[in-house]
Structure 1
Amino acid sequence: MSNFIGNVLKLVSGSVAAQILGILLVPIVTRIYSPDDMGVFQLFVAVSGILVIFSTFSYQFAIMLPKSEEDSANVFFLSSILVTFISILIAVAVIIFPEDIEHIIEYIFHTKGSSKYLIYLPAIVFFNGLFFVQNYWLSRKLRFGVIAGSRVLNALSAKVLQLIPFWTASPLGLIVGYTLGYGLADLSMLRGVKEDFKVFRKISVKKMKEMAIEYKNFPLFSSWSTLANTISPQVPTFLLAYFYSTSVVGYFSLANQVVNMPMGLVGTAIQQVFFQKISEVKNGNSSGDMKAIVSEVYKKLILIGIFPMILLLILGEEIFTFAFGKNWYVAGTYVKILVPFIFLVFLALPISTLYSIFEKQKVWFTYSTALLISRFVALAIGGIYAKSAEFSLCLFSFTGVIFALWNNAYLLNLVGISKRKSLEILIKYTAIGAVISIPVILLEMLSANFYIIILTAIIMTPIYYGIALRDDPTFKKIFSAFLVNIKNRT
């Protein structure tokens, strides 16, 4: 478990400063770009994210699984070739059929002018696809420091490039900065991948074909499951644009981004190390109790995430208005609606790799498809029968909560953890967080000065984690090691 904790710390502490700086730059971005600009940008991100899933056919997930380095290297090159090929196909389509694609986009999303940014789609699909492929190879090689460095570069460069004055205050600046951020991150990762050129000499077309057949369940089931999981969070982007406006999409985008940025930092870091550790245990290359590892990780995720989520439920609008300007008050309301769902997704992110470990791709595909359909139906009902985007998002969030609860229970059950045990942990830390946040709730009800409320929240935060530290010796070790790591870096 100590190696597991150390690798997580490499990913988290190695990029924490850059992530904080990236979050601090968001208020500047929101004062340069309008909600409408952010909405068009989010549509671009949503479309490119779906295409990225097709670009690898989910073979990147198989990079971690082979016992031999030669087999893994062949899967790595297979994934890279697929990314390149799909990116070229997209480029050909965008160049040859620009008007047809423009008419389709305007018809579906009720937006004009957004199609002129499609020329950047092949680049972002290529850079983003390679980013995923290299991530899994470097995770297999335990080069988590390289991954952390690339994330630093990606997070910072994207935000900084979006602020460069010569970009016009339009979706173009957001899109180009986002694209180049991934490109620079790929170059950073490539330096770490270079160390394995000896292994790559054993690559052959014949072997790649063998690996493609051996891991055929990934394109047959995982790719569609991943596609469904990618489309699911993007469904609001598409349907909010269709039923309402790109400004509403912009509000939703900011709300989603601000909460998911720090949560994603921790969750994704734990996911990569968790996947590598569990894969070793399953293959017999490492000692450890799978049930104990999963239980420990799940408990830590609840402990880390519950209190910030409670604070957002209480102070959503006030925080967003203060941080991003009066134009973004509505995004704070959206955050309060989405918080329960986002928190449960945060819990599921690392342990979702158990679908691949236990080769439950068919279950994942069925679950992902059902989730996608339910979200589409919920938002369609809201859009047709209600003029309020908030009502539609409430239906979306409620659907997500129901499915996430089932998903988490199923994954924990795969390693023998009962639903009752996982629920007890969730209730325990929710109760602690709720009790400690009472002063903040009372001040909010009394309409106290915002700065007094924020100061109280800041004071209550270390109190919550202090109680959690005393109650959980393992987390105390993690936190102490984290502080030492930060101190050494500074």
Structure 2
Amino acid sequence: MLSKLTSSIFVRHVLVLLSGTIMTQGIVTLTIPIVTRLYDPAAFSVLAGFASILSMATAVACLRFNVAIPLPENEGEAASLLVLSVVSATVLSLLTYGLLMWTPLRDLQFIASRRLDEYVWLLGIAIWLSGTYLAFQSWAARRQAFKRIARTKVTRAGWSVATQIGIGAINPVPLGLLLGHTVLQGFGFLSLALFAWRDDKADLLSVTRAKIANAVRAYWRYPVFSTPEALLNAAGTNLPVLIIVAHAAPAEAGLLFLAMKIMGLPMMLVGRSVTQVYVSEAGEKLREGTLPRFTLIAIWSLAKLGALPFLLVGISAPFLAELALGEGWGRTGLLLAWMVPWFFLQFITSPISVVLLIASQQVLAVGMQALGLMLRVGAVYLALGIWPEFVSETFAISGAVFYVIYLGLILMVLRVLMPRGETMR
């Protein structure tokens, strides 16, 4: 069985990325009990607001041109997309910084509350680092430099936790958490950029304004359709957190954020590695007519891989959370149990959700994310008005409902793409 698995190029690439991600998440996971004993839930609430804004901005920083980088057959066209991605990330980071420094926006409750306005200066830097990293990561994936990607993951995780623990040991102010999170999101882009310059200098220097214009014309659907879809997707998860930051008890958003971070570990551990390799091969599979079968195998494999770990978390978390995380973090364990259906469904759906873009179903993807945003924001506001003490639990339920609908839509699209005579079995 092991011989069969490792004979697949796809599986080998996943295993390379997975090894780096395991080390990365091992570093992060093992240090969570230290960090939670240095910083209180209120400090994590500041991080929750900061990370939510950063996540939404990063999702669209490259105008989604980075997603298209692995797809072109021509290296010059791919290099043009890389340049477009970096330029877009630079412009958006400056624009976001300017908007958040604008007084009317700084007075909004979700920024003014929890002292987020003190850290607007760091957001602009964090957005640029995150967006640029995504651009060069996609280029490295195109070149199948998965070992290099894995190394950058481990490096940035180490520096991230060192930053948070080092500052927290001296003075546990929220800035320590925010700086560590910024390092985790964007540190390592320079290594990938130097790799691209060393090995692909000729392709990068061949980029001209005319080639960039051609790339825009060829991939205009990504900024026009995929960018709103990505923003809606990020907002569906992060905007409710911002609402909870602004309206719930000071510690609630911090408790929720940590639970989401822990439940997101399997997605970080396996899901993103699968996504990177899936995207790197999806273009060829589409041309060969084998994309539906390829995608169904990925869905089934992820479901089998995630079922038992998620079940164990749901059963044990309410009893072990305070023991593992420290005094005051017991509610995080209860929230972890509520989040199991949501994150299990996300685990098997998100890695292959790019199939909608590859199949030119951008309108469906945008509509799906708009529905998800309305569903989750509506659920949070409803809970705040009727049973505010259960706002985080309601948010978790709405996430599970969304991914049930999303998975159903993906299966419908795959059925349409299936070659005549084949079935979904």
Residue from 183, 188, 194 that aligns with 2:191: 188
The whole-number CA distance in structure 2 between the counterparts of 1:183 and 1:343 is 26
Helix, strand or coil at the partner of 1:142: coil
Whole-angstrom distance in 1 between the partners of 2:220 and 2:170:
44
- Structure 1's unaligned 5+ residue stretches are 425-490
Give the partner amino acid of 2:69.
I
Matched, 1:115 2:95: no
Candidates 239, 253, 262, aligned match of 1:258:
262
Which one-letter code corresponds to 1:385 in the other structure? I
Correspondence list, 1:20-419, <5 A? 20-93=26-99, 97=102, 99-104=103-108, 107-108=109-110, 111-165=113-167, 168-194=171-197, 195-284=199-288, 289-388=290-389, 390=390, 392-416=391-415
Of stretches 161-170 and 36-45 in structure 1, the one that deviates more from structure 2 is: 161-170
Write the distance in 1 (CA, Å) between the matches of 2:96 and 2:20.
35
Partner SS, residue 113 of structure 2: coil
Q: 2:363, 2:349 → 1: CA distance?
A: 18
Q: CA deviation at 1:110?
A: 6.5
Helix, strand or coil at the partner of 1:131: helix
Measure the CA separation in 2 of the matches of 1:177 and 1:395. Answer: 29
Q: Structure 2 CA distance, aligned partners of 1:178 and 1:167?
A: 18
**Aligned residue identity for 1:169:** P
Between 1:354-363 and 1:233-242, the stretch displaced more is 233-242
* Cross-structure match for 2:420: none
Shift of 1:92: 4.0
| SS of equivalent residue, structure 1 residue 111 | helix
Distance in 1 between the 2:355 and 2:387 partners? 39
- State the one-letter code of the partner of 2:68: A
C-alpha displacement of 1:134: 1.1
Alpha-carbon spacing, 1:15–1:387, altered in 2? closer, same or farther (3 Å) = closer
Paired letter, 1:16: I
Q: Which amino acid aligns with 1:130?
A: T
Which residue of the partner structure matches residue 453 of structure 1?
A: none
TM-score of the aligned structures, taking structure 1 as reference length: 0.80
Give 1:167 shift. 5.5
Tell whether the 8 Å contact from 2:285 to 2:294 is kept in structure 1 after alignment. no
Distance 1:289 1:212 in 2: 28
Q: Give the whole-Å Cα distance in 2 for the aligned partners of 1:170 and 1:127.
A: 23
CA distance in 2, matches of 1:21, 1:112: 28
**Residue 294 of structure 1 contacts residue 412 of structure 1 at CA under 8 Å; is this kept in 2?**
no
Q: Distance in 1 between matches of 2:161 and 2:180?
A: 7
Q: Does the CA contact (< 8 Å) of 2:114 and 2:250 recur in 1? A: no
Letter in 1 for 2:118: K
* 2:100 and 2:106 in contact (8 A); partners too: no
For the Cα contact (< 8 Å) 1:263–1:305, is it kept in 2?
no
Q: What letter corresponds to residue 415 of structure 1 in structure 2?
A: L
Give the partner amino acid of 2:107.
H
Residue type of the alignment partner of 1:387: P
**2 CA distance for matches of 1:142 and 1:398?**
38
Of structures 1 and 2, the larger Rg is shown by 1
Tell which has more relative contact order, 1 or 2 (C-alpha 8 A, sep 6+).
2
1:93 Cα deviation after fit: 4.4
- The one-character-per-residue Cα deviations of 1:144-184 (angstroms, maximum 9, x if unpaired) are 11111111112221111111147521110011122234443
Asked if the contact 1:318/1:332 (under 8 Å) is kept, the reply is yes
**1: CA distance, partners of 2:182 / 2:395:** 29
Q: Which moved more, 1:343-352 or 1:231-240?
A: 231-240
Q: Give 1:28 deviation, angstroms.
A: 0.4
Number of residue pairs the alignment of both structures matches = 412
Relative to 1, partners in 2 of residues 1:304 and 1:54: Cα closer, same or farther, differing over 3 Å? closer
CA contact (8 A) 2:69 2:78 kept: yes
Give 3-state SS (helix, strand or coil) of 2:144's partner. Answer: coil
Identity across aligned pairs (percent)? 23
**Distance in 1 between residues matched to 2:149 and 2:54, nearest whole Å:** 22
Residue 139 of structure 1 aligns with an amino acid whose one-letter code is A
Larger mean CA deviation between 245-254 and 403-412 belongs to 403-412
- Whole-angstrom distance in 1 between the partners of 2:409 and 2:347: 16
- The 1:121/1:109 distance shift into structure 2, 3 A limit, reads closer
Residue aligned with 1:169, SS? coil
